[in-house]
Structure 1
Amino acid sequence: MNSQSFTDRLSQDEPLVLAGGYLFEVERRGYLTAGEFVPKVALEHPEVLEQVARDFLRAGSDIALAFTYNGHREKMRIIGEEHLLEPLNREAMRIAKRVAAEQREELGRDIFVAGNISNSNIFDPDDPATADQVRAMYREMVGWAKEEGADLILAETMYFFEEAKIALEEIKAAGLPAIVNVAVFATGELRDGVSPGEAAKRLAEAGADVVGTNCFQGPHTIRPIVKDIVDAVGGHKVCAMPGTFRTTDEHTTFFNLPDPGNTATLPHDRTFPDSLEAQNSNRYETAEFGEYAHSLGVKVIGLCCGGSVIHHRELSERLGKPSYLSKYSPDMSKHFMYGSDSSLPDVATSFRGQA
């Protein structure tokens, strides 16, 4: 059991780390089909999902996130497996809860368990029927998460304000704390024309415990969005979770990132979503974002698509929160080429400048 509630923890000065990016991490390990991106790993290879959750917590995450991103009725309909919807959601929650309990004991600190809902891909502001469908989808997922013991719900990658509002309403109706993150395309607005700052302000006023942004932008190009949100909400708790890709002023999101060094013929002439390896930001520039977000007073800081264990570990350390895995952080003192330790043989110094 945690020593305090999630909402109590939010009132403390120290930021919380939230490791996301389960979808890309599981696909990178080979256990998820790119394209459909449905998290069936919870049912087909629970041991893989357990290890990802364990690694993220050992890297410093304060929250065990149930991997139910895209685990909603619409995605299950597309792949013809709606009968797996409830089992998938419940098993993902059970895995998160089980690993959180294990790591609380191992690490000796509070770890909160979050249910997860995401963009529906069917919401249409011009079709009221889609709002009802989205509400029903979120209601059942939040209900299952609550029954399985969630401490809070993360609603993420919400690129319509009205869809984010529906998600928040269903979370609050269930009596659970809510983190609601909007996602912003290259236009700088949500798809229904609302600015990220205005969306966050309205969501905070509607009762979200934490508001923020995730995904689409990398650690550099997401900064103006985070600043806009922080300025708009006036001291309300904020979450920031970039993807870990080197987006630029020209390509502000990772959807159209080029790969000028590529010599292979890509299957679909773009790097997103399955050819982004060469565009990944390194651990140090990613962790610098964490410092920036913390300087703005952001309360929940994490990483989304592309974020690996080493990214999260470095992020935690930069925030003054060394993790269990910090004992494996880089130490070049004994490196054969760069090391300065007296135990190294003299011949090691001869490599310097020749590599």
Structure 2
Amino acid sequence: MTPVGGTSQSAKKGILERLDAGEIVIGDGGFVIALEKRGYVKAGPWTPEATVEHPEAVRQLHREFLRAGSNVLQTFTFYASDDKLENRGNYVAEKISGQRVNEAACDIAKEVAQEGDALVAGGVSQTPSYLSGKNEAEVKTIFRKQLDVFVKKNVDFLIAEYFEHVEEASWAVEALKESGKPVAATMCIGPEGDMHGVSPGECAVRLVKAGASIVGVNCHFDPNTCLRTMKLMKEGLEAAKLKAHLMSQPLAFHTPDCGKQGFIDLPEFPFALEPRIVSRWDVHKYAREAYNLGIRYIGGCCGFEPYHIRAIAEELAPERGFLPQASEKHGNWGNALSMHTKPWVRARARKEYWENLLPASGRPYCPSLSKPDDWGVAKGAAELIQQKEATSEQQLKELFEKQKFKSNK
């Protein structure tokens, strides 16, 4: 095994060159959830104006993921489309501008990527325009505004991520492919498929046919659920005799009770999810199972902190041949606990202990599972039509009443 941090020999390789060579690519983790907890992102809009307003916070999180083992840094451009930045009273489009947010995100990611062996991926995600019933041309125009920035800033490749509908995801891939850069596409779906019932296997096929070289899932579901979905995607591609690299970036929350729409339906979303956080040892298991399934682009999404990414890098260190820099401060399977003053803690300095531990929640009056909200709302529903104006008190009152009715059913 080479020294901590690896070498710079593959620093110039592109994403497809790395994956074609069989290398393991480690993605980064979640930004909106992490930066909301740190006080730099507002829950609700979840938009990334922090790239302009608090660039040091975005830069530091990129740097921590890089140190933990990420060799792809995604630009913090989640929900940075113009229509989202002006949706429901959001001030960002008017006071800052979408172009400025996206440009700053690229500049920050590229700056930090130069500190290690990392590529920069420009990302787009689902849009309010699609949910409001806008047509293909209108939605693609939204994507192209972000794409113009990514091309200008010369990011290494592009990601269409966080799509609930394969139709919109395919439109995104087609728009991004116009750049000539490699495109990855991930959907926030579970084993039941997209919000209109398209199966995971068919979603993967349609994304590849649209031009994606890397396909998979991100967000909305935990590692176990995402890997089940990835298996279905892989089987769909094999049945269609199509080839693509596989990519997985799940939540760092346990979500066995989630319905079709994932963790946003959980009553704990977004401010009480902490009891569901996966441990670093859960992530070791996830990384190994993802690798065994044939996935070579392995990362995380909401809830994934740098220590989770470090767990991926440490689990796959035998295959990669090196450890990340952050492992300098982390003993293998807790072996640094041998230095602890208390003997019962020193007794935990072994893999068998942590691998077999069943963590307690410490919450005696809490259920182990929740009943998710299931409003059955998808593209085409009147309630999903978006607006520039802030949500009115009357609109909120109507939603509160509907929630009471749903909760009592």
- Residue matched to 1:36: 45
Deviation, structure 1 residue 165 = 0.7
- Residue matched to 1:246: 254
Distance 2:91 2:18 in 1: 41
Deviation, structure 1 residue 193 = 2.1
Out of 99, 106, 111, the position equivalent to 1:98 is 111
2:284 partner SS: helix
- Residue matched to 1:273: 270
Question: Which range is displaced more, 303-312 or 20-29?
Answer: 20-29
Question: RMSD between aligned alpha carbons?
Answer: 1.9
1:197-236 per-position Cα deviation (integer Å, ceiling 9, x unaligned):
1111121133211000111111122221011112222352
Corresponding letter in the other structure for 2:30: G
Deviation, structure 1 residue 249 = 4.9
* 1:237 aligns to 2:245 (yes or no): yes
- Residue matched to 1:16: 25
1:20-62 per-position Cα deviation (integer Å, ceiling 9, x unaligned):
3111111121111111111111001101100000000111111
Deviation, structure 1 residue 157 = 0.8
Deviation, structure 1 residue 247 = 1.1
- Residue matched to 1:189: 193
CA contact (8 A) 1:20 1:65 kept: no
* Cα distance change, pair 250–140 in 1 and its aligned pair in 2 (3 A): closer
Corresponding letter in the other structure for 2:325: Y
- Residue matched to 1:87: 100
The percentage of aligned residue pairs carrying the same residue is: 30
- Residue matched to 1:156: 161
* 1:305 aligns to 2:308 (yes or no): no
1:307-342 per-position Cα deviation (integer Å, ceiling 9, x unaligned):
00111101111122521101111421112222269x
Question: Which range is displaced more, 129-138 or 310-319?
Answer: 129-138
Out of 115, 127, 140, the position equivalent to 2:122 is 115
* 1:172 aligns to 2:177 (yes or no): yes
Distance 2:136 2:37 in 1: 33
- Residue matched to 2:34: 25
CA contact (8 A) 1:218 1:244 kept: yes
CA contact (8 A) 1:210 1:238 kept: yes
After TM superposition, the structure 1 = structure 2 runs for residues 194-343 of structure 1, keeping only pairs within 5 Å, are 194-234=198-238, 235-249=243-257, 253-257=262-266, 270-320=267-317, 321=320, 322-329=323-330, 330=334, 331-337=336-342, 338-339=345-346
Out of 147, 163, 185, the position equivalent to 2:152 is 147
Distance 1:88 1:10 in 2: 30
Q: Runs of 5+ in structure 2 lacking a partner?
A: 1-9, 349-409
CA contact (8 A) 1:49 1:95 kept: yes
Deviation, structure 1 residue 251 = 5.7
Corresponding letter in the other structure for 2:287: G
Larger RCO (alpha carbons 8 Å, 6+ apart): 2
CA contact (8 A) 2:166 2:206 kept: no
